Amino acid sequence: MSKVMRIGIVGAGMMGAEIALCCAWNGMDVIMKEVTQERADNGKQTVARLLTKAVDKGRIDTEEKENVLARIQPTDMYEGFDEVDLVIEAILEVSEVKQTLFQELDVICKPECIFASNTSSISITKLASAARPERFVGLHFFSPASMMKLVEVIPGLLTTPVTIEFAMAFCRTIGKEPVKVKNVEGFVVNRILLALMNEAYRLLDEGVATKEDIDTACRLGLGHPVGPFRLSDNISLDLLGKVHTILTDAYGERFKAPGIFREHLDAGRMGRKAGRGWYDY
């Protein structure tokens, strides 16, 4: 990875914008595509806010901030995607929508370009069946992606060793620690996380402790940086609800979300992005 890499990011929401920052921060040129120019610009504004915080903390100066920002080009078109070395998709968690996108990209991107999906729960082999199965890989970042060091690297059935090596090297180049994981539902982290969250919801439901105290218990007793309720709000309950369904289908009742979780979903308490979830924001 000696030359400056060009990265295409599709989706500039919670994950896409932060992944764009990781790439630009490490010297890569980024095209960040959204469904509208306004959304793409919003994604870049998210990056600008994060960089301002980095300046305030003395991690970079304003000149470096401007240099990083200048490497990110927000757009609602595919212009420039013919030159990217890697596309990272971070759009809606809907298999058909993602597959359609990869079919479109297959026509535009150069043949050696690698396709990656940040999906939380959809089979990489299934997504890869849409285009370039040998050059397709899962790159599962964690929120907030600019801070979290882990990336799960998930090969599909036909992903070549060269593609896996490329993905692992890319992660290290942007300062992440990759772990290679088989293409199973939930991969490693979400299987552990949803089991933990379910138990936290049940504890609340049973009146064993308040959500604040359960969060405190996990922070101070397990060394977690945030407790399960705060984390659930950060990830968003609608996304977690979909993952619960997928894991329940794959592994059975142990992953079924308890009633108290579904009640929050039904009430529209989706988490931080909605201004209310387990907590109010």
Ligand X SMILES: NC(=O)c1ccc[n+]([C@@H]2O[C@H](COP(=O)([O-])OP(=O)(O)OC[C@H]3O[C@@H](n4cnc5c(N)ncnc54)[C@H](O)[C@@H]3O)[C@@H](O)[C@H]2O)c1
Q: Which residues contact 279 (CB under 8 A, 6 or more apart)?
A: 211, 229, 230, 233
CB atoms within 10 A of CB 91: 21
The answer to whether 25 and 174 have CB atoms below 8 angstroms apart is yes
Q: Is the CB of 64 or the CB of 104 nearer to ligand X? A: 104
Stretch 30-59: interaction string toward ligand X, x if CB under 6 A: ---xxx---x--------------------
Q: Which residues contact 31 (CB under 8 A, 6 or more apart)?
A: 6, 7, 8, 9, 73, 75, 79, 80, 81, 84
Strand partners, 131: none
Q: Which parts of 134-163 interact with ligand X (CB under 6 A)?
A: 140-143
Q: Is the CB of 162 or the CB of 192 nearer to ligand X? A: 192
Q: With contacts defined by CB under 6 A, how many residues of the chain interact with ligand X? A: 26
Closest residue to ligand X in the complex (CB): 13
User: Pseudo-torsion of CA 175, 179, 180, 182, nearest 10°?
Assistant: -130
Place of tokens 């950060």: 234
Stretch 193-232: interaction string toward ligand X, x if CB under 6 A: ----------------------------------------
Known catalytic residue at 120: yes
Known catalytic residue at 140: yes
Stretch 105-134: interaction string toward ligand X, x if CB under 6 A: -------------xxx--------------
Q: Which of 31, 5, 37 is nearest to 16 (CA)?
A: 31
User: Pseudo-torsion of CA 257, 263, 267, 270, nearest 10°?
Assistant: -30
Q: Which of 5, 15, 32, 131 binds ligand X (CB under 6 A)?
A: 15
Known catalytic residue at 190: yes
Question: Does residue 11 bind ligand X (CB under 6 A)?
Answer: yes
Catalytic residue from among 117, 118, 120, 232: 120
Catalytic residue numbers, as ranges: 120, 140, 152, 190
Which residues here bind ligand X, judged by CB under 6 A?
10-16, 33-35, 39, 90-93, 97, 101, 118-120, 140-143, 235, 239
